[in-house]
Amino acid sequence: MSRSTTTAPDKEQVKAYLLDLQDRICQALAAEDGAATFVEDSWQRAEGGGGRSRVLTNGAVIEKGGVNFSHVHGTQMPASATAHRPELAGRAFEAMGVSLVIHPNNPYVPTSHANVRFFIAEKEGAEPVWWFGGGYDLTPYYGNEEDCQHWHQTAFDACQPFGEDVYPRYKQWCDEYFFLKHRGEARGVGGLFFDDVNEAGFEQSFAFMRAVGDSYVPAYQPIVARRKNLPWSERERQFQLYRRGRYVEFNLVYDRGTLFGLQTGGRTESILMSLPPLVRWEYDWQPEAGSPEAALYDQFLPPRNWLIQQ
C-alpha cells in the first residue's frame, strides 16, 4: 500500500480533533460512572513532545480507566515502526493519538480499548509519508449476544459511508491482531483494527479516523449502562481477574502501541496505564463444561459475524 499522497496533511487539524475527542470521551465515561472523575497528568518527553494522561480509579462503575493523548516527535524512527517499513529508516517522525482502556468493576461489563492515531515520517528532499491508524475492541468476561451485536453494528455503521468492504476488512484484521498466539485464543470479541490508511487522500482518510473515534462512546456506553448494576459474586470476580491476565499478556507481548511507546522513550506510566489494577493467574485452569465461563470460550471468543443486519 502506498503511504504517501499528494494532499498535504494538516497536523494541527488532527491534533485539535484528538484533544477534543479525549475531552468528550472522558466526559461521557465520567458521567456514566457517576462517582469519580478523571485526574489529568500532563507530561513532557525529553526527546520531543509530550501529552496529557487522564486516569479514573476506584469509581462506582470503572475500577480503572485511562484516556491518553500523546504527541511525540523525534529524529529517528523507532525499530517497532521500521520493522515492516524499512524504507522509513533514518526519517524524522511525528506521532499523535488518543488511546484508552476501561476496566470496569462489574464482571458483566466488558473491558474496552480504543485508539486513533496519526503518523508522519519526513526527510529533507523527500515527500512526507503519513497515515492514520486505530480501532477498538471489546473484551467481555461473560458473553452477551446483545452487547456484541450492538458493538459490531455501531462499528459497521461508522464504516459504511467509506465503502462496503471497509468493515469486513478491518473486522477481520482486528480478529487476527488481537489474538494470543501462545494461547491459541482471541483476546475478546474484536471490533475494528486499521493501519496505513491514506490512499483516499488526507481529507477522506481523516474523516474515516474521525468516524471511528466518534463512534466509540455510542458503541460502549449503552453496554455499560445495561450491565453496570447487575449483581455478581466472588466467582464472577475471580474469573474476571483471571481473564484480565490475558489482557496483560497481549499488551506486554504483542501490542504495537506498547512497543512503540517504550522504544521511543515515552512516559512509562502512561504507556502501561492500560494494565488492570488487579489480575490473577492459575496454573492450567480450565472452565467447567457447560458453565457460563466455558461459554465465553466456546461461543464468544471464536471469530463470528455479529451484525444484526446483513
pLDDT value at residue 80: 67
**Which of 13-22, 99-108, 120-129, 195-204 shows the lowest per-residue confidence on average (mean pLDDT)?**
120-129
Using the structure block, give the residue that is written with the C-alpha cell 459497521.
156
Question: Looking at the predicted structure, is the pLDDT value of residue 288 above 80?
Answer: yes
Query: pLDDT digit string (tens) for 160-200?
Result: 999 999 999 999 999 999 999 999 999 999 999 999 999 99
Partners of residue 179 on adjacent β-strands: 186
| C-alpha span between 82 and 205 (Å, rounded) | 22
pLDDT value at residue 266: 73
pTM of the model: 0.93
Is 85 annotated for ligand binding? no
Is 116 annotated for ligand binding? yes
* Residue 232's pLDDT band (cuts 50, 70, 90): very high
Using the structure block, give the residue that is written with the C-alpha cell 483516499.
200
Is 197 annotated for ligand binding? no
pLDDT value at residue 11: 94
Question: Looking at the predicted structure, is the pLDDT value of residue 60 above 90?
Answer: yes
3-state secondary structure of 90: coil
* Residue 308's pLDDT band (cuts 50, 70, 90): confident
Query: pLDDT digit string (tens) for 136-169?
Result: 999 999 999 999 999 999 999 999 999 999 999 9
Distance set, CA 227 to CA 19, 101, 238 (Å): 29, 18, 18
The more confident residue out of 22 and 127 is: 22
Is 213 annotated for ligand binding? no
| C-alpha span between 90 and 85 (Å, rounded) | 11
Query: pLDDT digit string (tens) for 64-99?
Result: 999 999 999 888 777 766 666 777 877 888 999 999
Is 152 annotated for ligand binding? yes
Is 80 annotated for ligand binding? no
pLDDT value at residue 3: 43
Q: Which of 71, 84, 113, 150 is catalytic?
A: 113
**For residue 155, how many C-alpha atoms fall within 13 Å in the half-sphere facing its CB?**
31
Is 305 annotated for ligand binding? no
Query: pLDDT digit string (tens) for 100-113?
Result: 999 999 999 999 99
Is 166 annotated for ligand binding? no
Question: Looking at the predicted structure, is the pLDDT value of residue 48 above 90?
Answer: no
SS (H, E, C) the chain: CCCCCCCCCCHHHHHHHHHHHHHHHHHHHHHHHCCCCCEEEEEECCCCEEEEEEEEECCCCEEEEEEEEEEEEECCCCHHHHCCCHHHCCCEEEEEEEEEEEEECCCCCCEEEEEEEEEEEECCCCCCEEEEEEEEEEECCCCCHHHHHHHHHHHHHHHHHHCCCHHHHHHHHHHHHCEECCCCEECCCEEEEEEEECCCCHHHHHHHHHHHHHHHHHHHHHHHHHHCCCCCCHHHHHHHHHHHHHHHHHHHHCCHHHHHHHHCCCCHHHHHHHCCCCCCCCCCCCCCCCCHHHHHHHHHCCCCCCCCCC
pLDDT value at residue 309: 62
Which of 118, 114, 115 minimizes the C-alpha distance to 94? 118
Is 84 annotated for ligand binding? no
Question: Looking at the predicted structure, is the pLDDT value of residue 2 above 70?
Answer: no
Distance set, CA 251 to CA 8, 186, 196, 247, 277 (Å): 33, 13, 21, 6, 14
Is 71 annotated for ligand binding? no
Instruction: Please classify residue 245 by burial: count the beta carbons closer than 10 Å to its beta carbon, then call 0-12 exposed, 13-18 middle and 19+ buried.
Output: middle
Q: What is the DSSP letter of 160?
A: G
Reply yes or no on whether 150 is catalytic: no
Sheet with 111-122: strands ordered across? 39-44, 49-57, 62-74, 92-104, 111-122, 129-139, 190-197
**How much of the chain exceeds pLDDT 90, in percent?**
77
Query: pLDDT digit string (tens) for 258-285?
Result: 887 787 777 888 888 889 999 999 999 9
